[in-house]
Amino acid sequence: MREAYREQLDAVTGRLIGMTRKANEQMRWASTALLEAELALAEKVVAADPAINRDQLEIDEHVIELMATQNPVASDLRFATSALRITADVERMGDLTVHIAKIARMRYPDHAIPAELRSTFAAMGETAVRMVDKAGQVLRTHDLKVAAELARDDNEMDQLHRSLFLVLLDDDWSRGVEAAVDIALLGRYYERFADHTVEIAANVRYLVTGEIR
């Protein structure tokens, strides 16, 4: 009986990893749509997001059912708490990619990103994809060294985010208020996406060690 129970918990972990892969894919599509003004990719992100929402609901219901019908020990309860938090984080990450895609779609056929900021947003997209990759790896391996790397990666994202405001607040900014609002929102979406990967790592750390940050 307990062996079957452990297999079900492992299956939940597999589904959590699958959610991070979907968020990864949506971030790659959204970043390309933003940088290349590709309407089809922007629409693809919006259309794909309900799958992550369904995953969250199904996983949450399954975890609650497992905890209610089995005799969970302390580590099982930590697993349940972590899983419920992680599904919420990844669902929100999916939403953030949709926000990025919708700005790309709204400005189509123009580019939402001015030429002078394209390299910064390309770096933000690459950092975001790398971070969600690592989040999935931490879920799979419980490697706390990789979990710690995400905090350093988050610092990199924060620096990129701050660099946007140096441009926006410069007296030479000539793109107008509308473009400035787009840039500020987009920067926030990437920064928050990264924050959620750090939260995933923190929840895995709690699962493994029982320690709360």
Instruction: Give CA–CA dist 129/57, Å, rounded.
Output: 24
Q: What is the pTM of this model?
A: 0.95
| pLDDT tens digits along 100-140 | 999 999 999 999 999 999 999 999 999 999 999 999 999 99
Would you list the domain boundaries of the chain? 2-209
User: pLDDT band at 207, cuts 50/70/90?
Assistant: very high
Please give the CATH topology (third level) of the domain spanning 2-209.
Methane Monooxygenase Hydroxylase; Chain G, domain 1 (1.20.58)
User: Average of pLDDT values for 57-78?
Assistant: 90
CA distances from residue 18 to 53, 157, 173, 176 in whole angstroms, order as listed: 13, 24, 42, 41
pLDDT over 90 for what percent of the chain?
85
User: Average of pLDDT values for 17-31?
Assistant: 98
Instruction: Give CA–CA dist 76/79, Å, rounded.
Output: 5
User: How much is the mean pLDDT over the chain?
Assistant: 94
Report the pLDDT value the prediction gives residue 4, as an integer from 0 to 100. Answer: 80
| pLDDT tens digits along 140-189 | 999 999 999 999 999 999 999 999 999 999 888 888 999 999 999 999 99
